[in-house]
Amino acid sequence: MAKFIGAKTLIELRDLKKNYLLGDVEVPVLKGISMTIHEGTLLALMGPSGGGKSTLMNILGFLDTLSGGQYLLDGKDVSTLSANARADLRNERIGFVFQNFNLLARTSALKNVMMPLEYSKHRGSQKEMRAWAEHLLERVGLKERMDHHPSQMSGGQQQRVAIARALINRPKILFADEPTGNLDSKTSEEVLHMFQELNEKEGITIVLVTHSPEVGAFAKEAYHIKDGLVVDGTY
């Protein structure tokens, strides 16, 4: 796969390690990951199940902390930030999309999309926030369904609501963990095209976690992760 060249470095990982405590035994899950993520890329994190992709994505997205090594974001060391500082960065810079959508089933699409604004420091008026959420839902093709509940929607529609929600705080980076894992192949393709469009038209950096080579083919570049390490080529 062609490398994405010429852009500035957004994220740099140096020998990143993560151990989980199982009982009183430390189990290494990420064993020294070094990688560069360029601004504006659409990067696939690929590799077999259990290899550490989700663990890595959670650390990159400040949902989890690292056990060793360094994480640089925009040239700043963010390896050892406080929980509050991590939450601020997460809210201001990052959007997430998950395999199981993570929506509130009995709350309207519009309210689901507006939910992250509750935690934002840069809230507008209720009217402005609503207009922005409506714009995003229109953008993902759900103008007519803003008042529907996720429980009344197809998987593809639910994932589009989740994408609109991920965009509400105008993130620079979008992390998507197996975002098409619960979708049929036609719907998957629509969702992947939507990521490509966000990447190309809005310049949002996207990290797509997947074990599927078909999904990985939508990316500009890929890292393959196996047994907690970056490996070359395909697996």
Helix, strand, coil fractions of the chain, as percent rounded to 5: 35, 30, 35
Rounded Cα–Cα distance for residues 225 and 235 (Å): 9
For strands 25-38 and 173-177, give the pairing: unpaired
Pattern of binders to ligand ADP over 30-59, x per CB under 6 A?
-------------------xxxxxxx----
For residue 124, state whether it binds ligand ADP (rule: CB under 6 A). Answer: no
CB of 83 to ligand ADP, least distance (A): 17
Angle at 208 between CA 207 and CA 210, to 5 degrees: 145
In the complex, what is the shortest distance from the CB of residue 33 to ligand ADP, in angstroms, rounded to a whole number? 11
Q: Which of 48, 144, 49, 160 is nearest to 101 (CA)?
A: 160
Q: Is 55 in the site for Mg ion (CB under 5 A)?
A: no
**Closest CB to ligand ADP among 29 and 146?**
29
Q: Quick one: which of 13, 16, 29, 43 contacts ligand ADP (CB under 6 A)? A: 29
Q: Is 203 in the site for ligand ADP (CB under 6 A)?
A: no
Residue 185's φ and ψ, nearest 5 degrees, are -70, -35
Q: Which stretch binds Mg ion (CB under 5 A): 46-54, 120-128, 141-149, 222-230?
A: 46-54
Q: What is the DSSP secondary-structure string of 5-49? A: -SSPEEEEEEEEEEEEEETTEEEEEEEEEEEEEETT-EEEEE--T
Q: Shortest distance, CB of residue 53 to Mg ion, whole angstroms?
A: 5
Question: In the complex with ligand ADP, which residue's Cβ is closer, 46 or 113?
Answer: 46
Query: What are the angstrom distances between the C-alpha of 80 and each of 13, 29, 64?
Result: 13, 19, 11
Choice between 60 and 198, CB closer to ligand ADP:
60
**Burial degree of 222 (CB within 10 A; 0-12, 13-18, 19+):** buried
Q: If we measure between CA atoms, which residue out of 64, 94, 98 comes closest to residue 79?
A: 64
Judged by CB under 6 A, does residue 82 bind ligand ADP? Answer: no
CB of 1 to Mg ion, least distance (A): 21
Q: Which does 5 bind (CB under 5 to 8 A by kind): Mg ion, ligand ADP, none?
A: none
Residues 135-194 that bind ligand ADP (CB under 6 A): none
- With CB under 5 to 8 Å by kind, the binding choice for 50 among ligand ADP, Mg ion, none is ligand ADP
Question: Which residues of this protein are in contact with ligand ADP, per CB under 6 A?
Answer: 20, 22, 29, 49-55
